[in-house]
Structure 1
Amino acid sequence: MSTPVLSVDDLRTQFPTDRGVVRAVDGVSLSIEPGEIVGLVGESGSGKSVLAESVLGIVEEPGEIAGGDIRFDGESLLEMTDEQRQSIRGGRMSMIFQDPMNSLNPTLTVGEQIAETVRLHQDTGESVTLSAELKRKIVGAAKNGEAWRRAIEMLESVQIPEPEARADDFPHQFSGGMRQRAMIAMALACEPDLVIADEPTTALDVTIQAQILEELEDLKDEFDTAILLITHDLAVVAETCDRVNVMYAGEIVERAETRELFSSPEHPYTQGLIASTPQLENPDATLEPIEGNVPDLIDIEYACHFAPRCPEAERECFERAPEFRSVGDDHEAACLRRGPAGDRL
């Protein structure tokens, strides 16, 4: 068996506050193999983005990783120096943010931003000193350099029309869908081993969403890139992912292959998510929302974080922490009310 591109083991990321400790990521474990798209799904406030920030090493202070390990291509990221992690970030590991307008630099052309990523992380022989950067800001990128040619290639690969001309445009001159494509081009410019895509289709219309997801799949196949796809949209997961991790209140509560998860959801939270999602094949079906809200992640008192919202919860669920149990082939759920092969206890 190959070494996973990403392996997260019992990760705990927390934020101290005046009211107590926010346990945003509370004992999460997951892995991603080369050329695989793994989904991370859950409501807003579940800790998905904090998990991504933990992997990238960009958790904002006073946040800190309080336990566990993150291994990238078999090496512990937490044992690396900041300089070592920075050399990986953007090159071998990159991220597609959910808001490209705020993630792209408005003062630089799109082509120059992609080219700069290439210069920083690949041996192009082009200077990345401050004086060289200032010169490019004033007179523009060198159009005959390897980094600029790579920027044009990447814009073309994500189907930006007239890539040579559009590379000279600034982010505000791109539509929302084109800005997201530009972010994908930047993320894949150095052919990374891992891409973390945090809500990459948010605020895009459904046609553009479908195109973005198709491009992610095509580029994954082309570069054998592993992708962690973070979303609250189950339709995106069903269409795109090989495997799925369902996250709730800082914890993974269920994980399975995508087809298995949607055909036989076992954790009550996963069942609730699916029941509250419109079904194309049955548009008149009544939606069943999950009652209540994601809990405040400060010092949660009950052992199963979902217990107060769970229709199956019993007293034991509030007092005894659930462990993962096998509920099918490569299918696990962290629920006391589930036993082997999905039997209800």
Structure 2
Amino acid sequence: MASIEFAQVTQSFNKNVIIKDLNLKIEDGKFTVLVGPSGCGKTTLLRMIAGLDPQTSGSVLINGKDVTRIAPGQRGVAMVFQNYAIYPTMSVRENIEFGLKNNKVGKEERNRLVESICETVGLKPYLDRKPSTLSGGQRQRVALARAMVKKPSVFLMDEPLSNLDAKLRVQMRIELIEMHKKLGTTFVYVTHDQVEAMSMADTIVLMNHGQIQQMAAPEVIYRQPSNLFAAQFIGVPPMNIGDLGVDGAKFGFRPESAVLSVEPLDAHYTVRGIVATREMLGSETIYQVKAGQEAFMIKCTEDRFSVDQEVYLGVDATKLFFFGADENRIDPADARYGEYMRALKGQRHG
């Protein structure tokens, strides 16, 4: 196992700065997920840990040791790529033991390691088959087994499930969580999919434009987003945001925090609107309610309303968020919070 630290790290390509003066500590043995939109710098961080794209300045430390001048193969890390990068002409066994052969590991030890790892990832029946005869999930397991057989102190995973169908992604997420629990190794996982991040991570590192927006446990980012970006990136559908009309501030609430009714509601924020769209998803229904210039997404456990129906939307005071003109979330202890609560109550209509 190993901790990872970025100290004042900058990464630039052809004068284009991707990461600037970044500081980050990834805890030993944790499942850490780097998440954010395409181009936010998350894969760049992963490749710096692996040594594939050395940083322009600053230091990357693994277990307290600066690895800047240490070759990728000597860092004690193993990387699993989006495209699996397995050899099509080799059998499953040959793919998994390839690195062991290169490191001059004896045949008996190789066989023992391969059999043991394949038992863990469920590949024993497929050892003599070629990758072309395997499903996407099985090929992903080959890539994982090849990484595991090196017994790395750090697993690096770059969108490893993005090529799988939705059902298999769910299954592989569960398998990866169980694998992490079993191995107890440091996992650093990159994805743009916030559902993967929320379901798998001990710690989420949320990034945008090469900067860390928030680093916290999934439930903390969801319940206490540090800024407008975090509030709208994490959550499906994203947090509803409206203009407060005071100081350039905005208010927000989660789609599941609102109540819809055909009768006026007694809530801190209420508005009358029209159901514009309805998505019935089985256990829940998502409505888009248009109220004047605003449009809000509402998640309900009951399917009670129809398109074009007039409804009242209500949100309790405890479910409201406020963001300043700088887009940072305003804490309830901030003097502005009470002022903004009163301002929003004054907007009440319907």
- The residue number in structure 2 matching 1:259 is 219
Query: Match of 2:20, as an amino acid?
Result: D
Cα distance, 1:233–1:81 mapped onto 2, change above 3 Å: closer
Do residues 76 (structure 1) and 66 (structure 2) align?
yes
Residue identity in the other structure for 1:150: L
Q: Is the 8 A contact 1:109 1:168 kept in 2?
A: yes
SS of residue in 1 equivalent to 2:182? helix
Which residue of 2 is the match for residue 326 of structure 1? none
User: How far apart are the structure 1 equivalents of 2:333 and 2:230?
Assistant: 14
Question: What residue in structure 2 maps to residue 250 of structure 1?
Answer: 210
TM-score, normalised with respect to structure 1? 0.68
**1:34 lines up with 2:28 in the alignment:** yes
> Taking structure 1 as reference, are residues 27 and 184 closer, same or farther at Cα in structure 2, changes over 3 Å only?
same
- Measure the CA separation in 2 of the matches of 1:171 and 1:114: 11
The answer for unaligned runs of 5 or more in structure 2 is 239-255, 257-280, 289-294, 298-321, 338-350
Q: Deviation at 1:246?
A: 0.6
* Equivalent position of 2:110 in the other structure: 147
Aligned to 1:14: 12
Equivalence map 1:75-114=2 (5 Å)? 75-78=65-68, 80-82=69-71, 85-88=72-75, 92-100=76-84, 103-114=85-96
> What are the within-5 Å matches in structure 2 for residues 238-317 of structure 1?
238-274=198-234, 277=237, 282-286=284-288, 314=325
Q: What aligned pairs does 1:118-157 form with structure 2 within 5 A after superposition? A: 118-120=100-102, 124=105, 126=106, 145-157=108-120
One-letter amino acid of the structure 2 residue matched with residue 98 of structure 1: Q
Residue-by-residue CA offset, 1:159-212 (whole Å, 9 max, x unaligned)? 23xx1x522222212111111111111111122111111112102123321222
1:288: how far off? 7.5
Choose from 133, 137, 146 the match for 1:173. 133
Q: Residue 189 in 1 paired to residue 149 in 2?
A: yes
Q: Which has the higher strand share?
A: 2
Pick one of 166, 172, 185 that aligns with 1:206. Answer: 166
Provide closer, same or farther for how the CA distance between residues 14 and 210 of structure 1 changes in structure 2, counting only shifts above 3 A: same
* CA distance, structure 2, for counterparts of residue 10 and residue 148 of structure 1: 43
Structure with greater helix percent: 1
TM-fit CA distance, 1:58: 0.8
Taking a change above 3 Å as real, the CA distance of residues 119 and 57 of structure 1, as seen in their structure-2 partners, is same
Paired residue total: 264
Aligned CA RMSD, in angstroms, stands at: 2.8
Q: 1:342 to 1:184 in 2, by over 3 A?
A: farther
Percentage of pairs with the same residue: 24
Return closer, same or farther for 1:283/1:229 CA change in 2, 3 Å cut-off.
Answer: farther
TM-superposed deviation, 1:283: 4.2
* CA displacement 1:50-105 (0-9 Å, x = unmatched): 1111111112xxxx522221111111011x343xx4223xxx211111112xx112
Does the CA-based 8 Å contact 2:29-2:187 persist in structure 1? yes
Q: Is contact 2:161–2:172 with CA below 8 Å preserved after alignment?
A: yes
SS at match of 1:284: strand
Amino acid at match of 1:109: S
- Give the C-alpha shift of residue 106 in structure 1: 1.7
The question of whether the paired residues in 2 share the 8 Å contact of 1:195 and 1:227 is answered with yes
Residues 76 and 276 (structure 1 numbering): CA distance in 2 closer, same or farther, change over 3 Å?
A: same
Letter of the 2:95 counterpart: Q
The structure whose Rg is larger is: 2
Structure 1 runs of 4+ aligned residues shifted over 3 Å read 275-283, 285-289, 311-314, 337-345
Query: Structure 1's 285 and 226: CA in aligned 2 closer, same or farther, altered over 3 A?
Result: farther
Distance 1:234 1:47 in 2: 16
Q: What code does the residue aligned with 2:98 have? A: E
Q: How far, CA to CA, are the matches of 1:200 and 1:148 in structure 2? A: 26
- Judged with a 3 Å threshold, the aligned counterparts in structure 2 of structure 1 residues 46 and 264 are, in CA distance, closer, same or farther, namely same
Q: How far apart are the structure 1 equivalents of 2:210 and 2:131? A: 34
What TM-score do you get using the length of structure 2 for normalisation?
0.67
Identify which of structures 1 and 2 has the higher relative contact order when contacts are C-alpha pairs closer than 8 Å and 6+ apart: 1
Tell me by how many angstroms 1:342 deviates.
Answer: 8.0
Between stretches 64-73 and 192-201, larger displacement belongs to 64-73
- Measured against aligned partners, the alpha-carbon deviations of 1:196-253 in whole angstroms (never above 9, x if no partner) come to 1111210212332122222222222222101011111111111111111111011111
Q: Aligned pair in 2 of structure 1 residues 242, 157: CA closer, same or farther (>3 Å)?
A: same
8 Å contact from structure 1 (residues 38, 227) kept in 2: yes
Q: Residue 25 of structure 1: which of 19, 25, 40 is its match?
A: 19
CA distance in 1: counterparts of 2:133 and 2:82, whole angstroms: 18
Change over 3 Å in CA distance of 1:197–1:342 after alignment to 2 = farther
Alignment of 1:223-242 (within 5 A): 223-242=183-202
3-state DSSP class of the match of 1:31?
A: strand
